[in-house]
Amino acid sequence: MVDLVDVKYIRNGPRKAVVKLTNISDGTGEAAVIKVDLSALVGPNGVAPTKTVVESIQANVQGFTSVQLHFDHTTDDELAILGTGFTYLDWEDVGGHVDPASTGGTGDIVLTTIGASATATYDISITFRLKD
């Protein structure tokens, strides 16, 4: 059996997007799974964006030790570490959490679960802007 996961775009415009990520685990968890694939999006200039600026993350994590979000690069750049319970992170008033665009990689948003157990869940909404 495998974790039951879903990625659903609530909003997918040329400048701003909202993605909802869900998981019901069988105990296996996820490791560096691409959740936001920049090559599949259309940015402000009509082509795939080169990076994202995360404005906010709202999450409810149960049964995992943590859920880790990173920007995909040769050495992944940390976006957020979400612990058990409800978390709300808001960077909008400071211009957003900008992908530092380190060398290598794609800038996609990847997710890893830590300490998975059977019936562990997460429900995460990420609001972000698309940048050329």
Q: Read off the pLDDT of residues 40-65 as tens digits, 9 standing for 90 and up.
A: 999 988 999 999 999 999 999 999 99
Q: What is the pLDDT of residue 2?
A: 85
Which residues in 26-60 are b (16+ Cβ under 10 Å) and which e?
Answer: eeebbeebebbebeebebeeeeebebbbbbbbbbb
Q: What is the pLDDT of residue 40?
A: 94
Q: What is the pLDDT of residue 20?
A: 98
Q: What is the pLDDT of residue 132?
A: 81
| pTM, to two decimals | 0.95
**Whole-angstrom Cα distance, residue 52 to residue 127?**
10
Q: What is the mean pLDDT of each run of 10 residues along the chain (132 residues)?
A: 92 94 97 96 91 97 98 96 98 96 93 97 97 86
Task: List 80's β-bridge partners, or say none.
Answer: 69
Q: What is the pLDDT of residue 1?
A: 63
